[in-house]
Chains A and B, each alone.
Chain A
């Protein structure tokens, strides 16, 4: 046959073969036809085409809709199996295997790509089916340089599979890959490296090493990712290269693209997991990148960071374990081992000592890790959720671990394999942290359709969760399970009941009774299991239950399950004194059947005989002799052994030693009741979620979870010299980052105490050098704190304050007044408290130390502030009183609006384009107003109509400093009328630029609003120098709804998505009403428009002043003077239970909002809100309720 002929013939074969496949599906009648059936109409039409193309068509066609040309390969593979079957009907043309391989070689040698492709597909299909195709290697390897990308891909697939077996030939292909490594297309570079590194031929190790090194500094992150993947491949091929590879890993760890992070950590874990020191410098970056890394990388990184954190941070539960576990112990004491108790006590003692030495402060890096992993609990990937869960379990303070429960319970909805793994881990967790899963008890209820292994695991969890309060529900559940068809599960349920009974004393009798009832169950397995469990339970208090023992003795005739029989015999033997009459009789019966019993039963018979002999030798002597004689000739040497031993022990002879004297003591010693404990106890020394944990055995390559260190290693190792990673290695990358930035900006908001790698690099790329930024920031911070302390002093020593103020004004003319700073300071402290020690990212150690001190002192200050808030308020009032005279002087330097609080505002001459308000005024006025209000309480005539909210305005964060790359924005509702549009709510924003570079052109863009809402933008701030602060006011018409206003805040470089959502209380403005007017209006807003709520006032909020203050803080309302209508009447003593009324109108529609707080005895009160807008009314009720009760 010539090549040509064969080529031509092949399609026919192919058609045949395809046909047969098809006919197998369609029916048998076509099966015999060796050629195309005549009714196959398209044949003529196809014949015009090239034969091989025809074949393509056929094969493509047979695949049906979904087949595609892959089906060609599939059917090619099929041929092999079907070959022998078809030989009769398939015609003489059917080929045997060697011939076929020749055919494929022929096709590979042809110069038609389509033929090559077809051949390669068949070969790959063979590989996929596990058939050997190695003898085609020479023919295939020639095509490695094939231009056709599809052929090439398949050749690569083949090479990777067989290169190891045909090393010499494989070397032929290496040069192609080396060329590929230099290709301008990054994807070709990557794929060349991928295949090169997958060829497991030791001789090319140096080439691979070189290629990896080169690729690790490639411009393209994708190639670098491939390099990271190649590292473990090379390592497994030649562990000698470890040191060089570690260098590459170190280099790649410093990479800051999310694409590379996961892969390189994976390489790190495989090659050098012990080199934890490599992580230090990259720790913060990894934490911050984590959320954007692909799912699989996240799992690896989280697991690695868990280990890292265990070596670097202190146990956050050191202190808590003292306080909480002690209480826990007494409560659940029953399920804890005693000796373990002691151990724990020791530990505790140790811990106390440690705690005394040094109060625990969580390392900010530790906090960073916890915070940045938390959102990943919402991942769709179960592995990621589990990774975060184990991280929290191993690293988080006890109080915070609870957050993972919900996510884990969610995973129980997933595939049964996922459930299986999750339940294993939950079972371990429930032993340590039972409370965490208690609210989800019902999620562990068992369905009859669950696979057995899931059922058993759920049972385990339910048992672990059982306590005094929920045991009745759980036992009721168990009762239904006992009736299940799944006998293994029923057995497990009975064991679970036993465990509940031992752990919770209250239900022991109930459980025992239930189990005894089960003894009459028809299913032997159930009975047997019950016997075993009852045995264990009886051991706890045998005296009370001799009738149960009798009952069980009767069962011995029927029960055949060896374990159960053995258990009964042991029970009778152990408590033979409680059943003196029955015991010898049982022994008699057992002696009869001795030879037919299972080994464990035989052992127990001997045991029973021995015990009876010792207690009741008169009746049982002969029986015992008989049994021992039988045992002497038993087949099992264990039994022979035991018989011999026991005989020596109990039957005193001259030869028997001293031991026989103690036989009674030996056999009839009091035996401690067994502890039924969970098989998951103590499994948590394995890292949760790991394979080792699941198997409860160390798997190969498992990295032990280290114990917490006694003292934290130096945290400064994680500090990073900023310039090192701000230098972008290539322009391309930087560009990429810029594009990525707005996309991920929201996810990076959390980056918290340390700078995210990205933001840092970006800000750095904008500024000339980054390090000054750090300095200046810390400088500004220290300044702030100075100011803070100053303002503190100021409150105490008013005299000094004035001087200082002047000083400061001189030094910082653009700065706001001091009282503003102090209020600002308060907020900052607040912020700092919630995000402890923001400043630790400083470069040098000394700096960080200083700052630590600062922050500590600050926090102590703020605490004292809080505790003494009352006195301070008074102080502030005084300060406020003394301030007004100073006010105008200051104001001249600043922009302020005319629309400020009338009480303080002495005409302002500075015309502002839009009302600019600084908190100083409101603050002062507020305190003054409260003062005045305090006065007015007794004197109703003086009641000011425009009482403004009495405490400092609440500030909200619009843009966090980290997210904003140094720019932070806060806003508050200034409660001033917004002059350009009366229907708008004034929102005052304060911009602080803490970056090194100045921010330009601050303005807003792209406002997205719900229909009807409007926004008056704030005037553009053209320049905000570094370290400076500016304020601006914008107006928003919220349309009387609490819908958020979303917009972009733009600087000259960046845009931030931000949103402002108003509390309902800010959607109104105060109006003045007299009591009569109020009552009249209220009368018209009855029924649906009235919402009434009863409440109990907070203890601190029972005086009039407090109530008024809290209501006016919650909502922008003014107080309706009480008793003003009785002006003329002689002064009446204030009523015992005063009624407070407040009035306002919504900003947009001007609907009346009337609030009444009627106080009653003992702190009781009734809150009534009348408002046309019911939604506003309901929300307002909630807010005020909250304000008054907390």
Chain B
């Protein structure tokens, strides 16, 4: 299936290669570089490329390209999903997935790749299993290792493959038993010029951090599970229980994992937490334009909106911006033509406003396109859909774990058209 993998950085250097079958020359990447050149933006590189003898499937993550070489028919999503899993695993191991980190841990990464694929077919992709075979580095362990001459590689052989719960390692022990759940919701919305909602939906995810001794069997139930329209689960969740009772019943993996993703049914009206009044106009006469944006709270469920940020991709002709912000500061990047206005907390008494003039390159016609506003925001301690966890029960173990649930609402792809 997957023949080889090349990691390529932003500037086009191949800094890691791994072959699962016979070696394929690096020159195969030239086709990719060609496409990359053509696409200008790295996001626009087609994920699937056809070359005379191979197929190249790539993903772009953390300013890196993960490029896999395929020789025969394979579902492209299979490869893409696997590459993302590789990136996830690297992130899980080292905290981030970047060129520097991979270069620093090149041997560990190489060993991980060796374990994750066998002859191009995924072998062990569960983080819990991998961690048994190849220990993730920690500060403590690296000190211990240097003193004892040990290293990352586990001395004991992994047992994970053989436990009857494939995603959980055996013999987990903690002195503090805790289970935390973060309910994070993102509002995806498109608002049109007049501020009416063209499209809005809520996507949620429950991230879990579970550190529990032994083999706990957890049941998480919601006050209002009917809100959830479409869901996808970590493999640990028992689907039948969900179908029948709308509770999440599972034996959790150890550590951090995504328990479920959900979509809030579209029948429920989505509360849009802020409103935006904007006018961006360019004048026919003279090289200038005007910009005026005001943001105010709308339906915030009594919480304050934090981390407000507005990003605008300006038309190419806009040279500079001379604006004044009543709150926060703005920056305009001349090279990328991106205007960022960082507002911070939204104060309902004094609405933040950004206004001023835009200067346009002389000689160019007035831009016809409308830049759209991308909004970023955060509301702590509330899930905007109103989803509430009602209880978490644990079976199978005797101790009393510490349980916690946190709610957070964020703006997802929140766009205001002008």
Question: Residues on A close to B: CB < 8 A?
Answer: 53, 56-57, 60-61, 63-74, 77-78, 113-114, 117, 121, 124-125, 127-130, 149-150, 153-154, 157, 161, 164, 185-188, 194, 197-198, 200, 220-222, 226, 229-230, 232-233, 236, 259, 263, 266, 291, 294-296, 299, 303, 375, 378-383, 385-387, 406-407, 409-410, 413, 415-418, 420-422, 442-443, 445, 447-449, 451-453, 477, 480, 483-485, 521-523, 689-692, 694-695, 697, 699-703, 736, 739-740, 743, 746-747, 749-750, 1008, 1044, 1046, 1057, 1059, 1061
- Which of B55, B74, B141, B230 gathers the greatest number of chain A CB atoms within 10 Å? B74
Contact digits for B156-193, partner A, Cβ 8 Å, 1 yes 0 no: 01100110111000000000000000000000101010
Q: Closest residue to A162 on the B side, CB-wise? A: B23
Chain A contacts for B71, CB-based, 8 A: 700-701
| Contacts known (A53-B146, A442-B199, A746-B240); A701 close to B108, Cβ less than 8 A | no
Q: Top 8 closest A-B pairs, CB basis?
A: A68-B137, A701-B72, A73-B107, A150-B153, A70-B105, A60-B146, A746-B240, A702-B73
Chain A nearest CB, measured from B418 CB (Å):
9
* 24 cross-chain CB contacts under 8 A: A56-B146, A67-B104, A67-B105, A68-B105, A69-B137, A69-B152, A74-B105, A74-B106, A124-B106, A124-B110, A127-B110, A149-B154, A194-B118, A222-B162, A266-B121, A386-B75, A415-B80, A417-B84, A418-B81, A420-B48, A447-B413, A485-B315, A702-B72, A746-B249
C-alpha gap A746/B248 in the complex (Å): 13
C-alpha gap A221/B258 in the complex (Å): 28
B146 and A57: CB pair below 8 A? yes
A743 and B232: CB pair below 8 A? no
Chain A contacts for B137, CB-based, 8 A: 63, 66-70
> Could you say which of B13-21, B292-300, B320-328, B350-358 contacts chain A?
B13-21
| Contacts known (A63-B142, A187-B157, A445-B198); A739 close to B164, Cβ less than 8 A | yes
B151 and A117: CB pair below 8 A? yes
Task: Please tell me which one of the listed residues A150, A299, A1008, A1046 contacts residue B78 in the complex, with CB atoms under 8 A apart.
Answer: A299
Instruction: Tell me which residues from 199 to 243 in chain B have a Cβ below 8 Å from any Cβ of chain A.
Output: 199, 201, 203, 229-235, 238-241, 243
C-alpha gap A198/B62 in the complex (Å): 32
Is B380 located at the chain interface by the 8 A CB criterion?
no
Instruction: Tell me which residues from 360 to 418 in chain B have a Cβ below 8 Å from any Cβ of chain A.
Output: 365, 368-372, 374, 393, 395, 413, 415, 417
A453 and B101: CB pair below 8 A? no
Task: Please tell me which one of the listed residues B143, B313, B370 contacts residue A483 in the complex, with CB atoms under 8 A apart.
Answer: B370
Chain A contacts for B118, CB-based, 8 A: 194, 198, 226, 229
B19 and A161: CB pair below 8 A? yes
B374 and A188: CB pair below 8 A? no
Chain B nearest CB, measured from A248 CB (Å):
15
A747 and B151: CB pair below 8 A? no
Q: Which secondary structure dominates where chain B touches chain A?
A: mixed
Is B94 located at the chain interface by the 8 A CB criterion?
yes
Task: Please tell me which one of the listed residues A303, A407, A449, A484 contacts residue B413 in the complex, with CB atoms under 8 A apart.
Answer: A449
> Could you say which of B39-47, B272-280, B340-348 contacts chain A?
B39-47
Task: Please tell me which one of the listed residues A186, A453, A485 contacts residue B44 in the complex, with CB atoms under 8 A apart.
Answer: A453
B75 and A229: CB pair below 8 A? no
Chain A nearest CB, measured from B115 CB (Å):
10
Chain B contacts for A121, CB-based, 8 A: 107
Is B335 located at the chain interface by the 8 A CB criterion?
no
A381 and B81: CB pair below 8 A? yes
Chain B contacts for A385, CB-based, 8 A: 232
C-alpha gap A164/B239 in the complex (Å): 46
Is B331 located at the chain interface by the 8 A CB criterion?
no
Instruction: Tell me which residues from 66 to 83 in chain B have a Cβ below 8 Å from any Cβ of chain A.
Output: 70-78, 80-82
C-alpha gap A63/B141 in the complex (Å): 12
A65 and B139: CB pair below 8 A? yes
Is B329 located at the chain interface by the 8 A CB criterion?
no
Chain B nearest CB, measured from A81 CB (Å):
10
Could you count the A-B residue pairs with CB atoms below 8 Å apart for me: how many are there?
A: 321
| Contacts known (A63-B142, A68-B145, A296-B122); A378 close to B16, Cβ less than 8 A | no
C-alpha gap A421/B372 in the complex (Å): 26
Q: A222-B162, A421-B47 are in contact. List 12 more A-B contacts (CB 8 A).
A: A61-B142, A69-B137, A150-B153, A417-B59, A417-B84, A418-B80, A449-B313, A449-B413, A483-B368, A750-B240, A1044-B245, A1059-B245
C-alpha gap A197/B77 in the complex (Å): 27
C-alpha gap A61/B137 in the complex (Å): 12
C-alpha gap A410/B204 in the complex (Å): 11
Is B302 located at the chain interface by the 8 A CB criterion?
no
B123 and A229: CB pair below 8 A? yes
B78 and A701: CB pair below 8 A? no
B55 and A691: CB pair below 8 A? yes
C-alpha gap A554/B256 in the complex (Å): 66
Chain A nearest CB, measured from B313 CB (Å):
7
Is B336 located at the chain interface by the 8 A CB criterion?
no
A485 and B123: CB pair below 8 A? no
Contact digits for B112-128, partner A, Cβ 8 Å, 1 yes 0 no: 00100011011101000
C-alpha gap A443/B232 in the complex (Å): 18
| Contacts known (A63-B104, A692-B73); A383 close to B81, Cβ less than 8 A | yes
Chain B nearest CB, measured from A418 CB (Å):
6
| Contacts known (A295-B235, A447-B413, A523-B368); A77 close to B106, Cβ less than 8 A | yes
A60 and B143: CB pair below 8 A? yes
Is B316 located at the chain interface by the 8 A CB criterion?
yes
Chain A nearest CB, measured from B31 CB (Å):
14
C-alpha gap A710/B151 in the complex (Å): 63
Chain B nearest CB, measured from A1031 CB (Å):
23
Chain B contacts for A259, CB-based, 8 A: 161
A421 and B72: CB pair below 8 A? no
A699 and B121: CB pair below 8 A? no
B415 and A449: CB pair below 8 A? yes
B70 and A691: CB pair below 8 A? yes
Task: Please tell me which one of the listed residues B103, B105, B203 contacts residue A413 in the complex, with CB atoms under 8 A apart.
Answer: B203
Task: Please tell me which one of the listed residues B44, B73, B76 contacts residue A700 in the complex, with CB atoms under 8 A apart.
Answer: B73
Contact digits for B76-99, partner A, Cβ 8 Å, 1 yes 0 no: 111011101000000000110000
Is B194 located at the chain interface by the 8 A CB criterion?
no
Chain A nearest CB, measured from B384 CB (Å):
16
Chain A nearest CB, measured from B249 CB (Å):
8
| Contacts known (A164-B22, A266-B121); A69 close to B103, Cβ less than 8 A | no
C-alpha gap A227/B105 in the complex (Å): 31
C-alpha gap A185/B156 in the complex (Å): 12
B59 and A415: CB pair below 8 A? yes
A1059 and B198: CB pair below 8 A? no
C-alpha gap A712/B43 in the complex (Å): 48
Q: Closest residue to A197 on the B side, CB-wise? A: B119
Task: Please tell me which one of the listed residues A74, A236, A523, A1044 contacts residue B21 in the complex, with CB atoms under 8 A apart.
Answer: A236
Chain A contacts for B393, CB-based, 8 A: 1008
B14 and A130: CB pair below 8 A? yes
Chain B nearest CB, measured from A439 CB (Å):
8
Is B261 located at the chain interface by the 8 A CB criterion?
yes
B235 and A69: CB pair below 8 A? no
| Contacts known (A66-B137, A383-B77); A125 close to B43, Cβ less than 8 A | no
C-alpha gap A63/B94 in the complex (Å): 11
B76 and A200: CB pair below 8 A? no
A451 and B315: CB pair below 8 A? no
C-alpha gap A1010/B388 in the complex (Å): 17
Chain B contacts for A746, CB-based, 8 A: 238-241, 249
- Which of B149, B188, B238 gathers the greatest number of chain A CB atoms within 10 Å? B149
C-alpha gap A739/B165 in the complex (Å): 10
Is B251 located at the chain interface by the 8 A CB criterion?
yes
- Which of B50, B122, B158, B313 gathers the greatest number of chain A CB atoms within 10 Å? B122
Chain A nearest CB, measured from B333 CB (Å):
16
Is B37 located at the chain interface by the 8 A CB criterion?
no
C-alpha gap A1088/B154 in the complex (Å): 66
Q: Closest residue to B25 on the A side, CB-wise? A: A130
B369 and A485: CB pair below 8 A? yes
A153 and B111: CB pair below 8 A? yes
